[in-house]
Structures are given as C-alpha cells and as structure tokens.
Amino acid sequence: MSNGSQEFVRATPRPGGPIVSAVGYRTRGLPPALHRGLPSPYLTVIFTLDEPVVGGHTPEEARGPDAVRTDIVVGGLHQSPEFISQSGSEGGVQLAVHPLAARALLGVPAAELAGPVAVEGTDVLGRTAALVREQLVELDDWRARFDLVSDYVTRRTADDPLTGVRPEVAEAWTWLARHRGAGTLRGLAAHVALSERRLTTLFRAETGLSPKQAARLMRFQYAKAAVVRAVAAGAPPDLSRVAAEHGYCDHSHLVRDFRQYTGLSPTGWLAEECRNIQAGGHRNGEDSEP
C-alpha cells in the first residue's frame, strides 16, 4: 500500500441506452497529480464518492483558487484538454453519456454545456442527484452502485433518450458514428437531405460542435484506443499504421490531433498516462459506438 493503489471497475450499459460506458474508480495513497481530461464524443457525468472533483481550463487554474470544485460533475463536449487536480485518494462513478440524450437527462441540449470546465450536477439534475450521490457513498459494492446510477438515468430518460432532438441531427450523428468519423460533410449532408450550412447550424445548436469537429473527435477516440491497446499489451504503438487504419491522411495528422486533444505529443501523453493505462483506466467507451 506504500506505493498506492488504483482500481477501475466497468459495467456493461444497456444497449441503445443513453449511457455509453460506466466506470467505477478508486485510488488510494498516490502522490497528488494533475490529470488531463481529454475531449471525447460523449458527455461526462461523475458522482464522486469522496472529495469533490477539482479542475480548470489550465494547470494553473486547476491548482489555484479559481478552480471548479463539485461533487457531481456534468461536462459537455470540448475541443481541448481540461485539467483535474487529483489528491491521490479519491473515488467515483463516471459515466460517458450520449450527447443527444442531454435534453432527456439534463433538460438542456449538450450545446449549453459547452465552455465551462464542468457544471455543478445539481444545477441541471436537481436535488435528486444529490440524494443519489448520498446513497452511492453509503454503498460498498460496485454492482449496487452501477445499478443505482443506471436506474436513476433510466427513470429520467425512459420515455425517449433522444426527446426533442431533430431527426436529421440524430441521423447525422448515427451516420458519423457508423463511419467512425471518416465520412465527408458533403456525404453526410446528402444523407440527411440538408445543405451543409443548414446541417452544421442545427448540429452545432444541439451538440456545441460542428459535424466536422464531431467527426474528428470520433476518429481520434478510436485511434487513441488503438494506441492504448498496443501499449497495454506491451507493444510500441505503430502510429503510421494506426493513422492509416483510422482514416487519417498520414501519421502527421494523427500527431496533430494528439497535440490538440491532449496538449502533448503521442509519446509525451503515453509517458504521462503510463500508470493509468497499465491499471486499465483508459477504457471509457472507446470500444462502443459513439
């Protein structure tokens, strides 16, 4: 225990539901650290079990007096890393949520979550979310925690997880996911029978991203997952091969996306996240369709 410990436990969400992945995490006795919260095609919802999540847009903000502190995190889609100041002893249940389920789950489109590092969960989920967190803290079994959170989300979205979302936007997201972000805007617009400009306007109003930005995020999600799998298996990642297999023009375009979404080169990010990867902490929905 002197070297600290990390625990990651995963649940299998209901197929077709609003939860893409659910991860329980617990760390104990690790040195304080700064974690990079990477962009992904999913909303982030975290119910903490211990101390609040402390974060910011920059390392300085995350470690300073202006850091955001919240026990229930709701985070939108973003295009650059956010920074989390980790105490070394913490726990929680983290959900990756389909962004088009935001209206049903949160009462607002995902676009309204763009900008802030995170929104205080009770501001959008209400007092019931705080009661759910209190119950989670009292439980000592991961399965019971996952069941509680799943039941809570299901109750809020039971009628229709995509309620209020225009069918063209829902179909556009499905098309992008099916192509793993490798399709063209022209092909997407033709598929949903809208002009490129009109589609981009509607898509951005719902998600906070343009279709091109969402496509890049999806493509990067799968490419990053391939890199992580290689490292977890003890093999050096072949970035040129990963780039070719995931729709990048070449190796340099994959490196460009790594720098945008992580703030580091692939090698630099892998070195920083080595311990988390070895502990299994980077499988948060990348094997599922966004």
Please report, for residues 30, 57, 58, the alpha-carbon distance to residue 66 in angstroms, rounded to integers and kept in the order given. 24, 10, 11
284 confidence band (pLDDT: 50, 70, 90): low
Q: How many CB atoms lie within 10 A of CB 159?
A: 7
Q: How far apart are CA 115 and CA 142, in angstroms?
A: 32
Please report, for residues 12, 55, 57, 231, 276, the alpha-carbon distance to residue 35 in angstroms, rounded to integers and kept in the order given. 25, 9, 12, 19, 10
Q: How many CB atoms lie within 10 A of CB 97?
A: 27
Distance from chain centroid for Cα 226: 17
Cβ atoms of residues 113 and 107 within 8 Å: no
Q: How far apart are CA 60 and CA 38, in angstroms?
A: 17
Please check the confidence at residue 247 and state whether its pLDDT lies above 80: yes
Please report, for residues 62, 157, 198, 216, 248, the alpha-carbon distance to residue 164 in angstroms, rounded to integers and kept in the order given. 35, 12, 18, 25, 34
Cβ atoms of residues 273 and 280 within 8 Å: no
Residue 26 has which token pair? 């617990």
pLDDT greater at residue 121 or residue 279: 121
User: Which H/E stretch holds residue 85?
Assistant: strand 82-86
Q: How far apart are CA 207 and CA 112, in angstroms?
A: 8
Residue with tokens 């847009």: 57
pTM score, two decimals? 0.91
Please check the confidence at residue 126 and state whether its pLDDT lies above 60: yes
Please check the confidence at residue 152 and state whether its pLDDT lies above 90: yes
279 confidence band (pLDDT: 50, 70, 90): low
